[in-house]
Structure 1
Amino acid sequence: MWSSEQSEEQEQEPLLGQVRGGSASFSSSVFNLMNAIMGSGILGLAYAMANTGIIGFTLLLILVSSLAVYSIHLLLTLCDQTGISAYETLGDRAFGRPGRILVACTILVQNIGAMSSYMFILKSELPAVISSFLSPVGVWYENGVLLLILVTVCVVLPLALLPKIGFLGYTSSLAFLFMLFFTVVVVLKKFYIPCPPTLNSTQIFGQCFLLCIAFCFVCVCFSQSVYAVPTMAFSFLCHTAILPIYCELQRATKQRMQQVTNVSISLSFILYFISALFGYLTFYSTVESELLLSYDVYRPRDVLVVIVRLAVLLAVLLTVPLIHFPARKAVLMLVKGEESISFLSHCLATFLLITTVVLLAVYVPDIRNIFGVVGSTTSTCLLFVYPGLFFLRVSTHTLPSPAAVGALCLVLFGVCVGFLSLVTITVSLVQS
């Protein structure tokens, strides 16, 4: 039986009983979480707005971002109640060893898929961007594989070997500046590129209104509207990095980490909405699924667009080490079954993961399609399904309490989004 003093101390610092002395500042934690949230997915949001309309897109973005905040709230509440500081351990508490293995495998598949996709983007697009600034032909920097290995050894590997995720606060702030620059350029380009002559303003407003109404009532039946839901859901996936960032936060409390989450998702929401809105208002229905490709149609080899593309690629590059941290932790917990690891295990797991990711990016030509199908289920599980399930299983709140009902609704929403995204991606692959 604990004494009253021990109970009060545990109540005040439930997480710090396991993880003490976090050194990451509030701002660096915000930048790290934003870096985990934002990636190349920002390029597809203007296309999602073209499919749902401005009003429908706004409602969806608010809904998904709010649910992301709520699911993180459930995770932090569980950590606060149990003293657990790892996503995998929450799975163990909820469903035993199978739960731990399931969560670790889900994190591993999701993060390896994301890192491989990002590396594939770098291999495919970085040579062309560099060649846009340099005129010689047939030189070494036109080899995508060679460039990929170079940036991996010089940038990704040193950052991935860092012992704590809080050390990436500086690179994450740089990645945020790159995304901010992208958003500013999208806004400025709206006033320099003539609107496509396909629709007048009245027709556009009518189309947005009708698409919004269609979404609210029957969007499940139409693949164009369904496309936007998984796109937005994936744009707010940061849950694998939440608990590592929480553990290293200075004066770590649930309230303080919730503030980090609220600030990060709010800033991401603003950048997402502004870039999607002005990208859509620039091209309307002619916007490409990847926004930067739309600018190439109207102004090929635009210097500012090339610089923006380089900035986005650098932001993607700096995101890879951050995604690597929870993936490495999942590997070590699968193999060793514990959170404390030796430096040798840390280095071996890092080399193994980075090597696997590079090999996938180099030798699998359709890596983005493969992990698009797999990620449609793993992402929604990590974002919606697991937090709700674990809360229902571990928390003292039981049905029909409001907290338990909210967790159940989150699970049901996640199952629906996962099914819709899997169907959408599969249909698009079959059609192509």
Structure 2
Amino acid sequence: FDADEEDEQQQQRKVSSGDGIHHKIEEEDGEDEEEEEEDDALATPRWPQSYRKSMDIYSHMPSPSLNFLTSPNVSRSSLLSTSLGKHYESATSILDPLLTDQEFDKDEKRLTPSMPPPPPPQSHIVTVSSETRLRKTSSTRISPSSDAQDYHHLQLPKQGCTFFQATLNGINVLAGVGVLSTPYALKQGGWIGAIILLLFAVVCCYTGILLRKCLESEPGLVTYPDIGQAAFGRIGRLVISIILYVELYACCVEFLILEGDNLASLFPNARFSYNGHKMESQKVFSMIAALFILPTVWLRDLSLLSYISAGGVVTSIIVVVSVWWVGAVDGVGFRNTGSFINFGNLPVSIGLIGFCFSGHAVFPNIYSSMKDRAQFNRVLQLCFLLCILMYGGVAIMGFKMFGAETQSQVTLNLPKQFVASKIALWTTVITPLTKYALTITPVALSLEELLPTQVSKNHFASVLIRTSLVTSTLFVALMIPFFGFVMAFIGSFLSLTGSLILPSACYLSISGRRIPKTQAIICVMTIFIGVIAAIAGTYSSVTGII
């Protein structure tokens, strides 16, 4: 009997201990479920969901195939086919799901062959650390977003971009209107600006490679905002998106100022008056340019416009050749000299140079579109090498030609009697007319996301948003018609932040202690230099505007 009683007592102790363990496991499972729910809420990508789609169009991503122009799934609605008050179901909706989860998983694997496989499922997780929670926030949950669905919907070719096509896309993003102000940057800062131009090209190429490492750190990272979310959560995604969108908006302001300046140079005798009040020709031409641009921003399908604007590489080459022709063949010559360094205006020079290499918003899209992503570093290096030749060539030639008389746009200095000068001027005028709509579209789509679904499907709401954006950029251009100082502000406050500070900060946050100390020191130094240059350049440019 004593033995039986002892056995019963031991069995009761086992049962009670088992119940305790069971209750403990249930409590831990409940905590895990709560943490997973929090992680799911954090991992679900919010605004902006249209970033990848709009940036693909902006950077001319569908270049490998002309089938994009005739894709039956691309929305063809425009003012000619859709009334302003009519509700329509756009095939390119940025909010409606386009694929089921299974279909998306298959297509995602097909479109991103070089992405590392997702981590194996963990069925017995008792505790979740803060680091694990951050990793889960930035993991594969990001990929099934509207961004990815819209990316699939663009029907990019299965083979992806070749090395040559990716290089053209990169140069098309980097080689813009900044080439016109490089001589002015040397005038502001002195010949040391040429050295700074080279150093910035090297550093920006390096930070572009850092973005690639961020993309490869975890599966599902595709765009710059995705990297921000992986590094700093939703706040990082929001901050990076706002900075990039404000930069695009400011570039549209620059386009209108550019149009007014160059058209006024082409028609110097134009006079405008209203009720006896004389109006500046530069401002009137900016308003005329805005009227011509307005119908292009109403278009829902910008694929044709993206192919036209892809000639940005050609237009930059035309400007370079025209400046050389005026100096070498037409007899202007390269006789002027200048000081080596001008400390007073050096921050403005740094801002102008920073504007030239602000392509990081699109680099992740170029990387994702490549057939062989292992060549991405070579693509970046070649893009920056060719751009430094163009920027440096125009900077040195323009400053040697006009010296202290160099204006904010080198085209304004070119003698009007020469054919090469007129070619450069008209090329400069035509280019923004095609690039404006592509540049403002990402901003418009991001604002449409903030509207209720039924309102965002209304074509009138879309037209109203885009018209308001054009009107507001025109208002800013009329109030601040200083091309050089506005560009310096964009380059200092926005471009340096997006090209130097944020890539380094995101890489440090994502990689943590896994990176070598030398690389960590380089990233910290890049952030420090970027912050100092951004503060000094922003202050100097704002002072110049005021």
Band the TM-score falls in, shorter-chain normalisation: 0.7 to 0.9
Structure 2 residue corresponding to 1:150, chosen from 283, 292, 296: 292
Separation in 2, partners of 1:25, 1:363: 39
Structure 1 residue corresponding to 2:398, chosen from 274, 279, 297: 279
Q: Which residue of 1 aligns with 2:471?
A: 359
Matches within 5 A, 1:256-271: 256-271=375-390
The residue type paired with residue 469 of structure 2 is: V
> Does the CA contact (< 8 Å) of 2:224 and 2:364 recur in 1?
yes
How far does residue 386 in structure 1 lie from its aligned partner after superposition?
Answer: 0.7
Residues 97 and 184 from structure 1, CA distance in 2 versus in 1: closer, same or farther, beyond 3 angstroms?
same
* Structure 2 unaligned blocks of 5 or more: 1-109, 119-139, 273-280
Separation in 2, partners of 1:315, 1:302: 20
Q: Which residue of 1 aligns with 2:536?
A: 420
Question: TM-score by structure 2 length?
Answer: 0.61
The residue type paired with residue 357 of structure 1 is: L
> Does the CA contact (< 8 Å) of 1:15 and 1:79 recur in 2?
no
How far does residue 64 in structure 1 lie from its aligned partner after superposition?
Answer: 0.2
Residues 331 and 424 from structure 1, CA distance in 2 versus in 1: closer, same or farther, beyond 3 angstroms?
same
The residue type paired with residue 366 of structure 2 is: I
Aligned-pair identity (%): 17
Matches within 5 A, 1:323-402: 323-324=439-440, 326-328=442-444, 330-331=446-447, 351=463, 354-364=466-476, 365-367=478-480, 375=490, 376-398=492-514, 401-402=517-518
Q: SS where residue 311 of structure 2 aligns?
A: helix
More helix by share: 1
Q: SS where residue 407 of structure 2 aligns?
A: coil
> Does the CA contact (< 8 Å) of 2:222 and 2:365 recur in 1?
yes
The residue type paired with residue 423 of structure 1 is: Y
Asked which structure has the greater CA Rg, the reply is 2
Q: Which residue of 1 aligns with 2:358?
A: 237
How far does residue 261 in structure 1 lie from its aligned partner after superposition?
Answer: 2.1
Dislocated runs of 4+, deviation >6 Å: 135-138, 332-336, 344-350
2:207 is aligned with 1:71: yes
The residue type paired with residue 33 of structure 1 is: G
Q: Which residue of 2 aligns with 1:177?
A: 314
2:162 is aligned with 1:50: no
Q: Which residue of 1 aligns with 2:527?
A: 411
The residue type paired with residue 362 of structure 2 is: A
Root-mean-square deviation (CA, aligned residues, Å) is 3.9
> Does the CA contact (< 8 Å) of 1:72 and 1:239 recur in 2?
yes
> Does the CA contact (< 8 Å) of 1:175 and 1:318 recur in 2?
no
How far does residue 384 in structure 1 lie from its aligned partner after superposition?
Answer: 0.9
2:115 is aligned with 1:13: yes
How far does residue 73 in structure 1 lie from its aligned partner after superposition?
Answer: 0.7
Structure 2 residue corresponding to 1:304, chosen from 414, 420, 425: 420
Q: Which residue of 2 aligns with 1:5?
A: none
> Does the CA contact (< 8 Å) of 1:111 and 1:327 recur in 2?
yes
How far does residue 229 in structure 1 lie from its aligned partner after superposition?
Answer: 1.4
Separation in 1, partners of 2:451, 2:367: 23
Question: TM-score by structure 1 length?
Answer: 0.76
Separation in 1, partners of 2:397, 2:458: 44
Residues 196 and 64 from structure 1, CA distance in 2 versus in 1: closer, same or farther, beyond 3 angstroms?
closer
Separation in 2, partners of 1:151, 1:260: 33
Post-superposition Cα deviations, 1:350-406, rounded to whole Å, max 9, x if no partner, equal: 646632331023333224569658633222211111111111111144576222222
Matches within 5 A, 1:158-173: 158=299, 161-162=301-302, 170-173=307-310
Matches within 5 A, 1:240-251: 240-247=361-368, 249-251=369-371
Q: Which residue of 2 aligns with 1:40?
A: 177
Q: SS where residue 84 of structure 1 aligns?
A: coil
Separation in 1, partners of 2:208, 2:497: 13
Q: SS where residue 425 of structure 2 aligns?
A: helix
How far does residue 74 in structure 1 lie from its aligned partner after superposition?
Answer: 0.8
Q: Which residue of 1 aligns with 2:409?
A: 290
Q: SS where residue 302 of structure 2 aligns?
A: coil
Residues 84 and 361 from structure 1, CA distance in 2 versus in 1: closer, same or farther, beyond 3 angstroms?
same
Structure of greater relative contact order (alpha carbons < 8 Å, 6+ residues apart): 1
Separation in 1, partners of 2:206, 2:421: 36
176-185 or 43-52, which deviates more: 43-52
